[in-house]
Every structure is written in C-alpha cells, then in structure tokens.
Amino acid sequence: MSNQYVDVDVSEFKAFFQKMERAAKGDFRKELELFLDAIGNEFLEEVQDAFIHRHKNTGLGQLVSSFVKDDEHNIWSYEDGGLTLEVGSSLEYAIYVNSGHRTLDPAKNKHFTLKNGELARFVPGYWQGDRFIYDRSADGGMVLRLHWVDGLYFFDFALGKIEKTISVALEKRLQDWLDRYFGEF
C-alpha cells in the first residue's frame, strides 16, 4: 500500500476567518451603531412630525425641539430583539401632553375651591391671540378647573410607524453586511 497525500487548499478558509476577525474587531459593531443612530434620528423626526400633525401646530414650539436621543428626562424606550433605542424630552410636561393629564393634582395642594364647589388652580401667564403663554412672572393668568385633558399620543403614533419599518430595514441591512463580509464564500 502506498502513502497518498491529499493537498488541501485552505487559503479560502484563511481569507474567511480574516474577514470574520475584522468584522468582530469592530467594523460590524461600528456599522450597526451608525445604523441604529440613523434609526434614532428617523424616530425623532417621526415623533416631531406626529406632534405637529396631532397638535395642528407649526412645530416651532419648545416641545417639538425638546426631543433628543438618550435624554435623561422623560425617557421613552423601544426594544426589539435585544436592541434598545431611548428617546427623551428635556421638558417635564412632555409625558403629560403625550398621555393626557388632569388640569391639576389635588395632592400637590396648589388648588382652591370655586363658589360652585369645583376645584381650580391659577396659572400665571398671558394671552397672545388665541394662545396662552405660560409666564411665572406675569401679573395675570387664567383659572383652570379640574378636568381631564386628552393626550395627543404623538409618541405612540410615531412608535407605531417606526415599528413597521425597523424590522425590515434591519433585516435588509444585516443581509447587506453579510453579503459584503462573506458574500464571496
């Protein structure tokens, strides 16, 4: 019996493992972070657009411009498959505008009782046309009676829109990355 040797060309395996190593060392992670950052920016635009549409507002207000990624205030989170996107507003009242609220909180004891027995509170500010401008230093203001103010649900609306596209976009992007890194094999 004679000894026979089989020549095996491992150059393709070597190239494959080099690509895997390069992807694992950060190229893939950096690209994924850039992708998520783009999704975050798109999500912020959707939140702002939904607020403008639902509030019938010009969008030039403080609330619209207050939404930022990774803000430590008023955090809303979206999680899917272990990926998390956090968006917040630097304005304390953003959550109330989104989810609805009572015009006063009797627990804070900043209310008074009207002659008819209803609870109310005074809000300092002034009227500019048909809009009320809150101003702590104003001499005048308005009296709010206790009632429920419906939320605009702008965040929920934007989340619904983004959820429809994020999974498809992420799947396509992952396939593009796999094809680029490993498509030749």
User: CA-based angle 101:104:109, to the nearest 5?
Assistant: 140
pTM to 2 decimal places: 0.59
Q: Answer yes or no: is pLDDT of 103 > 70.
A: yes
- Range(s) of the domain holding residue 159: 11-100+150-182
- The top-scoring range by mean pLDDT among 24-33, 42-51, 103-112, 133-142 is 133-142
Mean pLDDT across the stretch 103-112?
74
Give the pairing of strands 141-145 and 119-128.
Answer: antiparallel
Same domain as 95, residue 123: no
In a domain, 6, yes or no: no
In a domain, 155, yes or no: yes
Which pair of structure tokens corresponds to residue 142? 């308005």
Cα torsion through 63, 51, 143, 141, rounded to 10: 40
Same domain as 127, residue 89: no
Q: Answer yes or no: is pLDDT of 16 > 90.
A: no
Instruction: Give me the pLDDT at residue 94, please.
Output: 81
Q: Answer yes or no: is pLDDT of 1 > 50.
A: yes
Give 69's pLDDT tier (boundaries 50, 70, 90). Answer: low
Instruction: Give me the pLDDT at residue 185, please.
Output: 46
Give 78's pLDDT tier (boundaries 50, 70, 90). Answer: low
CA separation for the pair 41, 77 (Å, rounded): 14
Q: What is the number of domains present in the chain?
A: 2
Same domain as 28, residue 115: no
Each residue's pLDDT tens digit, 123-169? 899 999 988 888 989 999 999 888 888 888 888 888 888 888 877 88
Mean pLDDT, all residues of the chain: 77
CA separation for the pair 109, 97 (Å, rounded): 22
In a domain, 160, yes or no: yes
Each residue's pLDDT tens digit, 121-130? 888 999 999 8
Same domain as 74, residue 164: yes
Same domain as 135, residue 113: yes
Give 22's pLDDT tier (boundaries 50, 70, 90). Answer: confident
